[in-house]
Chains A and B, each alone.
Chain A
């Protein structure tokens, strides 16, 4: 192995990719789209404001005024807490029943359609007995508005019940209080409070791994085929051993991916300084505090997984002359990566269950799943160790296997080879291995 030569290959792969416009467009557009998406979400939530005129058909005759009062009280509390914000202003308009209930509803439906009212609410004793109320509106996906209405109705009905039973108002206020369920993660060292930020970070890291394996793994396949179609490979092989070329390419392409992540994390770090990340992470999650072990495991599983999949993609690229020829077989690693992603909900539900253990030992899903398990639970040490050992062995074996296919495949042009032919390349050994230097003849 000549590291001078490998370094030259790494340098070429890296610089030629990083210098392309496509790389920078992708690098800048992804965070840009992400920010725009967040901003739209944020604005959508903020913008859920303005007047909401609601018709209330209250056949109990008792709830509507209380509901209106409760909504008004909530609005006032919100305004006091956050003076700048313009929340939703509910206007409650009680309506009598004209004809029967169905006729009333039909009339109200027409009013909604002609935009005279925003929606209508049915508070009917028959329904309330079954703990139900009905809300009709053109938009029933306005989470903020519906959540407000839901909470207000529940509270109003609860108060009504308390009053009906003749309990003192102090008991009522106590009953209104809700218990906040705190979640704590049990580890060997004790317990830590888990507010979801750690899990969120683990999932983000997992998505990064997943997309790197697919995107940058596939880049390896394309790189190999490109060198073949350009007919450059023979010139390079006259100076560099195939295995050196392969390693240089895998490392170079991997570094391109890392550069992209470095850029993104710099953007994220700058944004959080500006306080925008604070808004992004707003809510229950709080600022994500990522433990060091999570980053350590990420680097380990990321590198092993990347080398494993890059080797597979390289092996699948070498025998073919066009992307199209390679397409069919290149589905195999892609499916394996997607498969790892697909079992993740099962692993989240039961991080030490049989599916989780199996998937974290199976080398092709191990990088994603073992990583996830180390983040969300504390798997037994022997499982982590075994998973890493299996992964290292598989990666080494796959790199060896890829190297054997590569050295033959890169010089094969013409007809698309069959799988038995490719397998022969792996076993292929020239009749005689090169002899050590024979004494020169005079």
Chain B
């Protein structure tokens, strides 16, 4: 299947500072793709280059299998990191304008605005000026603007920054819904917990370079440290004495046990079960943050941390 977005050796230098350094990745169609990394890693520059707002110095970018054209531009919904609206415009006029520059007919635009306004409870505000809206309301307007032309791909730069929990929930629902309809979502964030819950695929950036890319489930397996979560009737020393245990730690009445490399999980569990009453167990997957830190460590860029 052709990817929705494809980057090949893309670089961008601002003055002497490399913002993006030979970056390549593919976004398959129909996935939620997370572009992750700390502030200043090059996420926004990458997104702007995909949108053809900033030109790449070198490399190829293909969106829906060709460089960004007028026609593909109309099939993308974009939410920039720097979010703004014309403050003196009425909400309805504003949305009609943003639809018009995506070449949506006025009639269609009106219908879709009405639908979205219903869904996001924005209807009483349509005739008000943007100025009179609360920040949360303005964010709803901006989200409607990104989908008003029913795009195939959504590109969202830090969509959750500055959102209150209610709006965050609304936007997450909306992203899930969007994906269910077979559309592609690319979003950037520096908050890894959000990405963990939403993404199918990720690309991790640090200091202008890609340090990791792939399917999140595969990555979790790859970065798994052979950890098990055990609920067992045994003391800490008894656990540590079990064959194959590299280290163990008591957690909430149970243990997180790290197995020595090469130890078979089933073999270990069988032995544990023979000796002590075992109430439950689960494989403990590494969290995205741990994967990130490992990847950063492997790349020798420790001081870069995914913290706000």
Contacts and interface: CB of A to CB of B under 8 A. Distances in A.
Interface of A: 2, 4-5, 8-9, 11-12, 15-16, 20, 227, 230-240, 411, 413, 430-432, 434-438, 440-442
Nearest to A17: B88
A431 B60 contact: no
Contact of B58 (A4, A413, A432): A432
A4 B84 contact: no
B56 A239 contact: no
B260 to A, nearest CB: 43
Contacts of B84: 230-235
B208 to A, nearest CB: 16
Contact of B53 (A234, A435, A441): A234
B78 interface: yes
Contacts of B89: 12, 16
Interface in B237-251: none
A239 B68 CA distance: 11
Nearest to A4: B103
Given A411-B54, A438-B66, A9 B101 contact: yes
A8 B100 contact: yes
Contacts of B97: 8, 11-12
Interface of B: 2, 6, 48, 51-60, 62, 65-70, 73-74, 76, 78-80, 82-89, 93, 97-98, 100-103, 142, 145
A440 B3 CA distance: 9
B60 A438 contact: yes
A435 B67 contact: yes
A38 B8 CA distance: 72
26 contacts: A2-B70, A2-B103, A11-B100, A12-B97, A16-B93, A230-B84, A230-B86, A231-B83, A234-B48, A234-B84, A235-B78, A235-B145, A236-B98, A238-B53, A240-B101, A411-B48, A411-B53, A430-B55, A430-B56, A431-B58, A432-B56, A432-B59, A437-B66, A438-B60, A440-B66, A441-B6
- 3 smallest CB-CB distances across A and B, nearest first, come from A231-B84, A430-B55, A8-B100
Contact of A238 (B80, B83, B93): B80
A438 B2 CA distance: 13
Contact of A239 (B58, B67, B101): B101
B20 to A, nearest CB: 12
B86 A431 contact: no
Given A230-B85, A440-B2, A441-B2, A238 B73 contact: yes
Nearest to B52: A434
Given A230-B87, A235-B84, 17 more contacts: A2-B103, A4-B103, A5-B100, A8-B100, A12-B86, A20-B88, A238-B73, A238-B76, A238-B80, A239-B74, A430-B56, A431-B57, A434-B67, A435-B60, A436-B67, A437-B66, A438-B66
A4 B149 CA distance: 15
Task: Tell me the interface secondary structure of chain A in the complex.
Answer: loop
Contacts of B83: 231, 235
Given A2-B70, A5-B101, A239-B101, A232 B85 contact: yes
A341 B287 CA distance: 72
Contacts of B54: 411
Given A5-B101, A8-B101, A232 B86 contact: yes
Nearest to B61: A434
A126 to B, nearest CB: 74
B98 A239 contact: yes
Given A11-B100, A432-B56, A239 B73 contact: yes
Contacts of A442: 2
A251 to B, nearest CB: 15
Contacts of A432: 56-59
Contacts of A239: 73-74, 98, 101-102
Contacts of B68: 434
Contacts of B98: 235-236, 239
B254 to A, nearest CB: 48
Given A441-B2, A442-B2, A237 B67 contact: no
Contacts of B100: 4-5, 8, 11
Contacts of B80: 231, 234-235, 238
The winner among A8, A16, A411 for most chain B CB atoms within 10 A is A8
B215 to A, nearest CB: 19
B101 A430 contact: no
A437 B78 contact: no
A348 B215 CA distance: 78
A238 B53 CA distance: 7
Contacts of A436: 67
A48 B208 CA distance: 83
Contacts of A15: 93
A2 B83 CA distance: 25
B85 A430 contact: no
Nearest to A20: B88
Nearest to B85: A232
Contacts of B53: 234, 237-238, 411
A237 B76 CA distance: 13
Nearest to A242: B53
Contacts of A440: 2, 62, 65-66
A231 B51 CA distance: 17
Which of A15, A234, A235, A238 has most chain B Cβ within 10 Å? A238
B24 to A, nearest CB: 13
A13 B1 CA distance: 43
A9 to B, nearest CB: 7
B51 to A, nearest CB: 5
A20 B129 CA distance: 12
A326 B80 CA distance: 26
Nearest to B76: A238
A188 to B, nearest CB: 50
Contacts of B93: 12, 15-16
